[in-house]
Structure 1
Amino acid sequence: MSTEAIPRDALSHDRLRVRVAGGVAEVALNRPDKLNAMDEAMFDALSAAGRALMGTVGLRAVILHGLGRGFCAGIDTGLLMALAGRIGALRDEIVTPLPGEAANRFQHPCTVWADLPVPVIAALHGPVFGAGLQLALGADIRLAAPDAQLSIMEAKWGLVPDMGITRLMPGILRADQALELMLTARVLGAAEAASLGLVTRIAEDPMDAARSLARVIAARNPAAVSGMKSMVRSAWPGDEAHLALEARLQAGIIGTPEQIEAVTATMQNRAPRFG
């Protein structure tokens, strides 16, 4: 199947490269000079690509990966600075779901992959931090290179993780494990991430392994594959009920003096001074 099955405007964005062949879509984050850090353009490109693939006839599987030295280093720090100038409007945007969705503009780029009717495989290498980890959680299967490093990093910026983690992480980690990683923002190597179940397995070449797995999936009865994904997503914990909660919490935190101090201290490589 060619990429003509997908609307051109979902493919033309410079933040992503999307290729579809043999029923398998490969969606590549394309900011290698920034370790694929997410900016607003990346959010919108991921949402658009997910929506486009939702209606792609003949699609059997999707692979998410990052070009360059890592999967995704999280939110672009330049975006954090830019958002500081429009906190009021940003808070409104955070607590407002997209039309027809439970997710807001910042959650949907991660949750849309869980909503696709076909399995999504994330091929992870290098940094998988913050927003990048939540994007990876949107996939159904995560294959990690031995050099992959994973972190729920939002605490460094004085924020809560709010890109769909309440829907995507339950059923993957126990509550105490998830909370410890959120509170500490510590970085996990691939081996520890695999031992916790945060990644499905380690692969020397995760992209090659993802392609091999996608070929196996593409050869199965598509109705059964779609049914199995639906069954697993429905039966394991994690749904849309708490997306509004993480949005409300974030809206109340972002732009406060304590959150600004967390950002400043992180940027200046010093301990934060809270009141």
Structure 2
Amino acid sequence: MMKDRVSITMLEDGVADVRLIRTDKMNALDPAMFAGIAEAINTLKATKGLRVVVLSGEGRAFCAGLDLSNFAASEDKKPGQGNVTSNLGDRSHGIANLAQYVAWGWRELPVPVIAAAHGVAFGGGFQILSGADIRIIHPETRCAIMEMKWGLVPDMAGFPLWRGNVRDDVLRELTYTNREFKGTEAHALGFATKVSETPLEDALWLAKLMASKNPAAMQGAKRLLNAMADSTDAELLQMESDEQKKVIRTPNQMEAVMAEMQKRKPVFSE
């Protein structure tokens, strides 16, 4: 399923170049795309030596959201097989259902995920974009929390992902009206990390930089960052100490120090 909707190319230093490849439909989400993205996330979770993920869309768009043109028919033809809407209450993927997992699952990866968006990021596509740790967006990218247009509520992990990114009243306005906004506004509001005319190139450059850091420290930092929203101060203080104990004075940590002092590229053990 994945090969028809998502590609994974491993680059140097453990960087995974992940692309949505349903270009004829602007990477819109049909049942096969949901299944393909979930499979890609699970594949990455099992990939040894993975350090950073770059997520982007091939063709004219990042992701145009739900493909309503064939979604209902596809759901009816394959009950129980990758079915997305019939069992929304089921937690089929850890704490999430399938629809939520294609966005939330990027947060569950142990390594940083950098998304590069261009063209369109609507509805579910905007929520998938929001699942990345860092989001680089082209200034003219068309964005929208689109679900209300179709009489739906956003339900692909958007709300826990947007928490802390954008003001409450702004999120309400965008949700209630499904108003379109460009990449520049997405950045100004807090949905995007930075604006770039070359988002994919910038994302790959940033991934290369992150891949040059101690992978154990990077994973520890992501665990801490993931815990910030739901942990007390005391819990976070303890977690900081626990994560530091895992990396301090290890061979990889000492290699980071030596490489910096000797002004060379570090060589880490996995």
TM range (shorter): 0.7 to 0.9
1:31 corresponding residue in structure 2:
22
CA distance in 2, matches of 1:124, 1:91: 26
> What secondary structure is seen at the aligned counterpart in 1 of 2:116?
strand
2:114 corresponding residue in structure 1:
121
1:109 corresponding residue in structure 2:
102
> What secondary structure is seen at the aligned counterpart in 1 of 2:222?
helix
CA distance in 1, matches of 2:84, 2:56: 28
1:189 corresponding residue in structure 2:
182
Once the two structures are superposed, residues 192-232 of structure 1 have per-residue CA deviations (whole angstroms, 9 ceiling, x without a partner) of 11111110000110000000000000000111111111111
> What secondary structure is seen at the aligned counterpart in 2 of 1:63?
strand
1:18 corresponding residue in structure 2:
8
CA distance in 1, matches of 2:35, 2:71: 16
Aligned length: 227
- Among residues 150, 153, 164, which one is paired with 2:157 in the alignment? 164
CA distance in 2, matches of 1:83, 1:16: 19
1:234 corresponding residue in structure 2:
227
Q: Which has the larger radius of gyration?
A: 2
> What secondary structure is seen at the aligned counterpart in 1 of 2:99?
coil
Task: Report the residue type matching 1:201 in the other structure.
Answer: K
Cα pair distance change 1:91/1:218, threshold 3 Å: closer
- Among residues 20, 31, 38, which one is paired with 1:47 in the alignment? 38
Question: TM-score of the superposition, structure 1-length normalised?
Answer: 0.78
Cα pair distance change 1:58/1:84, threshold 3 Å: closer
1:268 corresponding residue in structure 2:
none
2:89 corresponding residue in structure 1:
95
Q: Which ranges of structure 1 fall in alignment gaps of 5 or more residues?
A: 1-8, 239-275
> What secondary structure is seen at the aligned counterpart in 1 of 2:98?
coil
Determine whether 1:72 maps to 2:72.
no
Q: Given that residues 170 and 237 in structure 1 are in contact (C-alpha distance below 8 angstroms), is that contact kept between their aligned partners in structure 2?
A: no
Runs of 4+ in 1 over 4 A off after TM superposition: 83-87, 89-92
Q: Given that residues 31 and 84 in structure 2 are in contact (C-alpha distance below 8 angstroms), is that contact kept between their aligned partners in structure 1?
A: no
Q: Which ranges of structure 2 fall in alignment gaps of 5 or more residues?
A: 232-270
CA distance in 2, matches of 1:135, 1:146: 18
> What secondary structure is seen at the aligned counterpart in 2 of 1:121?
strand
2:242 corresponding residue in structure 1:
none
> What secondary structure is seen at the aligned counterpart in 1 of 2:53?
strand
TM-fit CA distance, 1:166: 2.3
TM-fit CA distance, 1:62: 0.3
Identical columns (%): 41
CA distance in 1, matches of 2:144, 2:70: 19
CA distance in 2, matches of 1:175, 1:146: 23
CA distance in 1, matches of 2:223, 2:174: 28
CA distance in 2, matches of 1:84, 1:173: 34
TM-fit CA distance, 1:236: 3.0
Q: Relative CO higher for 1 or 2, CA cutoff 8 Å, sep ≥ 6? A: 1
Q: Given that residues 40 and 79 in structure 1 are in contact (C-alpha distance below 8 angstroms), is that contact kept between their aligned partners in structure 2?
A: no
CA distance in 1, matches of 2:85, 2:198: 40
Q: Which segment is superposed worse, 211-220 or 184-193?
A: 184-193
Superposed CA RMSD in Å reads 2.1
Cα pair distance change 1:191/1:212, threshold 3 Å: same
> What secondary structure is seen at the aligned counterpart in 2 of 1:78?
coil
Q: Given that residues 152 and 181 in structure 1 are in contact (C-alpha distance below 8 angstroms), is that contact kept between their aligned partners in structure 2?
A: yes
